[in-house]
Structure 1
């Protein structure tokens, strides 16, 4: 009898320690997510240099993570603090499940939308608007939220109201819906992101190769002339030099034409724009729109994809396994851990998308100096 009382006391102490640990960690996570994503939104709204099309996608992602920290995480932390017991109304549980599915899906869809936007910027940079949001970006952002709501809406419309529902447990009751939402929220957008990023890296590599070839073309000395490009030095009369130079430009491997002519008042440089009929020059003109800042930003995409997969893959694998395999016994602590890991991604997104950006970093430093 004494031993049983001792064991019960020990178990109660362990439960209390776990509950307070979940409370402290949950509150800390909420503060980090709110502060990080609020800073992202304020920086884009107040800093002129940050008002670019890509950053509006990042603001949409930050809003999803911010709403998750305000509407979902507090109730989830409260439930974890009570040891997983739901003490509130079933209606509030359904609202919580709806917001949870919708905002997590919106966060993932926003990451996918960013990959689509970056792919477009690399593939057709001449037609990509970097200064203001156009219809394509508005369509992507709107579609992200509409699809997220479409995936989550069955819960709020009564899908969770099943016979024999346990009012002390707040969870998704329909296993078929769990499989459906997991496929729509993760197993479809994730491969799309990976494919787009691989295609983007391939495009950037081709851009680098083209740029290096262009530099070698202009700077490497060739036999009998100062440059391997025959149009770089033509010492003739102004009219003849211009006509010959235009002809040589269409046949040259170099995309830009310069001619040095003597008009009687000293040597002058004449530059000729790319010819519209030179189809071989089109890839060069398109890739020339990609600036150094964009190339540096795109190089951090492996970090973005890696962290995203690390945070969300365990949750959705456990989630769909639990729903599709009735004989699989997955302990509750495992499910709790992978759920927390997915929520942690909302705190990491501001770090990933801003720490490598000089303008974001300078704004954060300025805010921290004012606060501290």
Structure 2
């Protein structure tokens, strides 16, 4: 027996809800640990990890807000048009903040290898915080565009005179907005810029290493560390691309060739692939960034095993680490 206003769920719906719930739990737990690790370890409190924390906050919001809202919307309950539209816009805002945080990380790493001597003067912590705020402001502005008119209100009004509608994402969000504005404008363009930036980062690093980093051991060590971190962060971008392209490609198919149709199972697969990306990022940090991994181990020892934290083995002559050594891999 179904609840009022909610359609009877099919088997595929229940499987979708179960998978989404597991993804939400993994995303929240993993990204809370990311934020906690940065708070605990001062060596991780640099400009790059400011953007990584911003990305982690967006991924926490995916687990806490986006996935529950996606599940609620998938149930097809009846509500006012603008209530459903606000819920759908929240999904767009939070997911958009992820890609802008990734773009900010790519720009930060590019400046770090392109102008290493002036980097600390140009990219200050204060400016990093401003950039994080700007990412979220732009996410809100782009995600709220449907609220100012680019929505399906006129189509719904023509179809029915009822004050309530079945709350589904495609019932309130126009597909031309999702394809032209959201995908081409706010996904393809930033991802293209990121690919170009990381290609240039790897080119500069390889060039410097081939020159033996201007014949200095410190320079070579610096660029080797940058190469390792750049590979880790490029992997995060690649996983974002891998997880998000399917749902956007399906949106394009629905928009440009509606006669083909799209099976519900395929759409659900695309949706949870986009959400699982939020749970993957902490795994990348843990497996690829040594200092981050050691910090997580210390947190686990203190919180789970009730053991005192072991001090990190560091030379006694390194209390004043330079900017170039604040991310140890």
TM-score (norm 2): 0.78
Cα displacement (A) at 1:355: 2.4
Superimposed CA distance per residue, residues 33-69 of structure 1 (whole angstroms, 9 cap, x where no aligned partner):
1111111111112221211111111001011111122
Cα displacement (A) at 1:19: 2.9
Larger radius of gyration: 1
Q: Secondary structure at the match of 2:262?
A: coil
Name the counterpart of 2:186.
185
Structure 1: runs of 5+ lacking an equivalent = 1-13, 215-254, 257-284
1:98 aligned to 2:96?
Answer: no
Going from structure 1 to structure 2, the CA distance change for 1:307 and 1:147 (only over 3 Å counts) comes to same
Going from structure 1 to structure 2, the CA distance change for 1:213 and 1:145 (only over 3 Å counts) comes to closer
Provide the aligned length of Structure 1 versus Structure 2.
Answer: 287
1:349 aligned to 2:281?
Answer: yes
Name the counterpart of 1:175.
175
Q: Secondary structure at the match of 1:34?
A: helix
1:62 aligned to 2:62?
Answer: no
Tell me which of the two structures has the higher relative contact order, counting C-alpha pairs closer than 8 angstroms and 6 or more residues apart. 2
Q: Secondary structure at the match of 2:261?
A: coil
Cα distance in 2, alignment partners of residues 303 and 132 from structure 1: 23
1:331 aligned to 2:278?
Answer: no
Cα distance in 2, alignment partners of residues 26 and 368 from structure 1: 26
Cα distance in 1, alignment partners of residues 123 and 206 from structure 2: 27
Cα distance in 1, alignment partners of residues 91 and 124 from structure 2: 28
**Are 1:68 and 1:103, in contact at CA under 8 Å, matched by a contact in 2?**
yes
Q: Secondary structure at the match of 1:35?
A: helix
Going from structure 1 to structure 2, the CA distance change for 1:50 and 1:18 (only over 3 Å counts) comes to same
Cα displacement (A) at 1:136: 4.0
Cα displacement (A) at 1:121: 0.5
Superimposed CA distance per residue, residues 224-256 of structure 1 (whole angstroms, 9 cap, x where no aligned partner):
xxxxxxxxxxxxxxxxxxxxxxxxxxxxxxx79
Q: Secondary structure at the match of 1:330?
A: coil
Superimposed CA distance per residue, residues 131-167 of structure 1 (whole angstroms, 9 cap, x where no aligned partner):
9844542343233212211211122335435134271
Name the counterpart of 2:143.
152
- Structure number with the higher helix fraction is 2
**Are 1:51 and 1:131, in contact at CA under 8 Å, matched by a contact in 2?**
no
**Are 2:32 and 2:60, in contact at CA under 8 Å, matched by a contact in 1?**
yes
Name the counterpart of 1:267.
none
1:120 aligned to 2:53?
Answer: no
Q: CA RMSD in A?
A: 2.7
Pairing of 1:301-316 with structure 2 (within 5 A): 301-316=233-248
Structure 2: runs of 5+ lacking an equivalent = 1-7, 306-329
**Are 1:175 and 1:323, in contact at CA under 8 Å, matched by a contact in 2?**
yes
Name the counterpart of 1:317.
249
Cα distance in 1, alignment partners of residues 127 and 291 from structure 2: 25
Name the counterpart of 1:52.
46
Going from structure 1 to structure 2, the CA distance change for 1:293 and 1:32 (only over 3 Å counts) comes to same
Going from structure 1 to structure 2, the CA distance change for 1:207 and 1:186 (only over 3 Å counts) comes to same
Going from structure 1 to structure 2, the CA distance change for 1:131 and 1:120 (only over 3 Å counts) comes to closer
TM-score (norm 1): 0.70
1:363 aligned to 2:305?
Answer: no
Cα distance in 1, alignment partners of residues 53 and 64 from structure 2: 16
**Are 2:208 and 2:214, in contact at CA under 8 Å, matched by a contact in 1?**
no
Cα distance in 1, alignment partners of residues 227 and 265 from structure 2: 42
